[in-house]
Amino acid sequence: MRSGPTDEQRRRIRWTTVLLALAALGIYVAFIASSVMKARH
Amino acid sequence: MSTTHTKDHAAHGHDEHGPAKGILRWLTTTNHKDIGSMYLVFSLVMFLVGGTMALIIRAELFMPGMQLVDPGFFNTLTTVHALVMVFGAVMPATVGLANWMIPLQIGAPDMALPRMNNFSFWLLVSAFTLLILSLFVPGGGPSAGWTLYPPLVLQTGDALPLAIFAIHLAGASSIMGSINIIVTIMNLRAPGMSLLKMPLFVWTWLITAYLLIAVMPVFAGAVTMLLTDHFFHTTFFAASGGGDPVLYAHIFWFFGHPEVYIMILPAFGIVSEIIPTFSRKPLFGYDAMVYATASIAFLSFIVWGHHMFTVGLPLAGEMFFMMSTMLIAVPTGVKVFNWTATMWRGSLSFEPPMLFALAFLFLFTIGGFSGLMMAIAPVDFQYHNTYFIVAHFHYVLVPGAVFAIMGGVYYWLPKWTGHMYDMKLAKWHFWLSTIFVNVLFFPQHFLGLAGMPRRIPDYSTQFTDWNMVSSIGGFAFGLSQLLFVYLVWKCVKGGARASAEVWEAHPKGLEWTVPSPAPYHTFAEAPLVK
């Protein structure tokens, strides 16, 4: 059988994925939000 | 770097886990090699689509006057050619190479998120299906240039939402691919492979993936605001409602300049793999190469204003962007000198991958130098919006990124297929491409310096001669690429057996320890890296 990642690796993979996805989403929202702020001025 | 293996990969007996049969294999595969191949084939198709558009553009520009297409469609061609080449050809080609090679180079059994890998690929196919379909909707395709500057882009017809949705999908695909690459490199390296033992290709992709995650959402944000301006009457970029069209240019180029490095950093990585092999020497200044790559990535965030000198930036802003842009020449110079030092007193041989890497070194540097010229703010006022810019970025992207990708394909193709390709034909492909890429793009410097504007289908008669030369170069370069397609197809079908090492130069790295072709599953047990 092919040996997959260990439990520890799986946990780290999950967390890194969530963190990076949140970072991408955060940047997207932040840029739109900052443009909304600029447009209101 | 030396390696030991607890078991022989070839004798591991995974045949029972081979690929599914038929079309289902390609639709549902989670294998990094399958997905890498699909990305590479997709990018080749996109190169041919974008290349055909380029040939129509060059045919129209062969002579002054309107010959073949109407001006609106000409603008659509320049726009879609750029979008296809950037997001559909160059980026997916480097992602394909990453999918194939990163797990093999770090000793991982596959990418960390294989199902997301499959999803990323098919999302990209959907994105480009939409973009190409946008050419056929009422009002014609997007035609405001790849920058999609408002207010011009807001005059696009039904193609606007299609093109923007396509960009969103392609962006989501890129972000998912980047997350996968980072997660794989950070978590699945073979025991003993510390960060500073990773191959340069892996390093450049790691840094590129961070760049992508940082800037793709910015572009997505900008085009989302274009959509709301168009359909929901917001005025982010409309001066009539208190918005600012220059804000879009700032946001776009905050994405756009790092995007250039997203295309070129993996190319640096490929060249850093090829030159040591065919110089039979380790890479000179490995650590410096890593730090130079990271410096280039960092600097790419603070130079965007050099694309906008003519919009009326404050003088201090122009000075800042001028200086920061020139600063990029330092880490880039480190790289060029280190590649040269790697070859110095090496035992060089000139197989096709090395030829492409050498051409990259010379011709990318020409693109770099013309970039430095444009970094000088007062001088850029003269070059701005001329064919000099077109010549500059095509030197960076064609004999730069595309030549490195071709070099990478020629370097690893025997590892993928298990067959050696026709060396003589590959050298013909190299020489024809190298000669005609210069015939195509070098005269565009002269046209730009003489004042010929870009993105126009017609021009004054004094520009005729160099346009004819450029168009002849374009058709010859384009036709030469058919040799590449034939050669790859022939190599996939058969040829002399390739050994595990493939090259007599004894290349270093884990990918050369597995048989050729690389088995469907590799590194089921992680190798130990000493």
Which of B14, B188, B220 is nearest residue A28 as measured by Cβ atoms? Answer: B220
Which of A4, A17, A28 is nearest residue B183 as measured by Cβ atoms? Answer: A17
- The reply to whether B332 belongs to the active site is yes
The predicted pLDDT at position A3 comes to: 63
Are B53 and B430 contacting, i.e. CB atoms less than 8 angstroms apart?
no
- Whether A39 shows a pLDDT value over 80: the answer reads no
Q: Which range is least confidently modeled, A8-12, B194-198, B281-285, B402-406?
A: A8-12
pTM: 0.94
Residues of A in contact with B213 (CB under 8 A): 20, 23-24, 27
The predicted pLDDT at position B195 comes to: 96
Share of chain B above pLDDT 90, in %: 89
pLDDT in tens, B379-401: 999 999 999 999 999 999 999 99
- Whether B365 shows a pLDDT value over 50: the answer reads yes
Average of pLDDT values for B116-125?
96
Residues of B in contact with A38 (CB under 8 A): 244, 247
CB within 8 Å: A28 and B217 = yes
Smallest CA–CA separation between A22 and chain B, in Å? 10
- The reply to whether B384 belongs to the active site is no
The predicted pLDDT at position B366 comes to: 95
Average of pLDDT values for B189-202?
96
- Whether B177 shows a pLDDT value over 90: the answer reads yes
- The reply to whether B335 belongs to the active site is yes
How high is the mean pLDDT of chain A? 86
ω into B151 cis (within 30 of 0): yes
CB within 8 Å: B221 and A4 = no
Q: How would residue B7 be classed by pLDDT, with cut points 50, 70 and 90?
A: very low
The predicted pLDDT at position A4 comes to: 76
The predicted pLDDT at position B17 comes to: 63
The Cα B141–Cα B148 span in angstroms is 12
pLDDT in tens, B196-230: 999 999 999 999 999 999 999 999 999 999 999 99
CB within 8 Å: A13 and B112 = yes
Residues of B in contact with A27 (CB under 8 A): 213-214, 217-218, 221
The Cα-based distances of B459 to B73, B423, B434, B451 in angstroms read 16, 42, 28, 10
Domain ranges in chain A? 7-41
Q: Is A15 near chain B, with CB under 8 Å?
A: no
Average of pLDDT values for B138-144?
89
CB within 8 Å: B251 and A35 = yes
The predicted pLDDT at position B223 comes to: 94
Residues of A in contact with B218 (CB under 8 A): 27-28, 31
Q: How would residue A17 be classed by pLDDT, with cut points 50, 70 and 90?
A: very high
Average of pLDDT values for B437-447?
97
Q: Give B379-398 as a DSSP string.
A: HHHHHTTBHHHHHHHHHHII
- Whether B476 shows a pLDDT value over 60: the answer reads yes
The Cα B93–Cα B408 span in angstroms is 10
Are B2 and B73 contacting, i.e. CB atoms less than 8 angstroms apart?
no
Q: Is A6 near chain B, with CB under 8 Å?
A: no
Q: Is A31 near chain B, with CB under 8 Å?
A: yes
The one-letter amino acid code at B412 reads W
CB within 8 Å: A38 and B113 = no
Assigned token pair, B418: 């298990």
- Whether B10 shows a pLDDT value over 70: the answer reads no
What superfamily in CATH does domain B32-520 come from?
Cytochrome c oxidase-like, subunit I domain (1.20.210.10)
pLDDT in tens, B52-71: 999 999 999 999 999 999 99
pLDDT in tens, B338-356: 999 999 999 999 999 999 9
How high is the mean pLDDT of chain B? 93
Are B204 and B293 contacting, i.e. CB atoms less than 8 angstroms apart?
yes
Contacts (Cβ under 8 Å, ≥6 apart) of B76: B135, B140, B141, B142, B143
- The reply to whether B184 belongs to the active site is no
Which residue is closest to B237 within chain A, CA to CA? A39
Of the listed B306, B392, B394, B508, which one is catalytic?
B306
- The reply to whether B81 belongs to the active site is yes
Q: How many A-B residue pairs are in contact by the CB < 8 A criterion?
A: 77
The predicted pLDDT at position B24 comes to: 87
| Residue A5 backbone phi and psi in degrees, to 5 | -65, 155
Residues of B in contact with A25 (CB under 8 A): 217
pLDDT in tens, B292-342: 999 999 999 999 999 999 999 999 999 999 999 999 999 999 999 999 999
Smallest CA–CA separation between B43 and chain A, in Å? 25
pLDDT in tens, B268-292: 999 999 999 999 999 999 999 999 9
The Cα B48–Cα B36 span in angstroms is 19
Q: Give B417-438 as a DSSP string.
A: HSB---HHHHHHHHHHHHHHHH
- Whether B48 shows a pLDDT value over 80: the answer reads yes
Length of chain A: 41
- Whether B458 shows a pLDDT value over 90: the answer reads yes
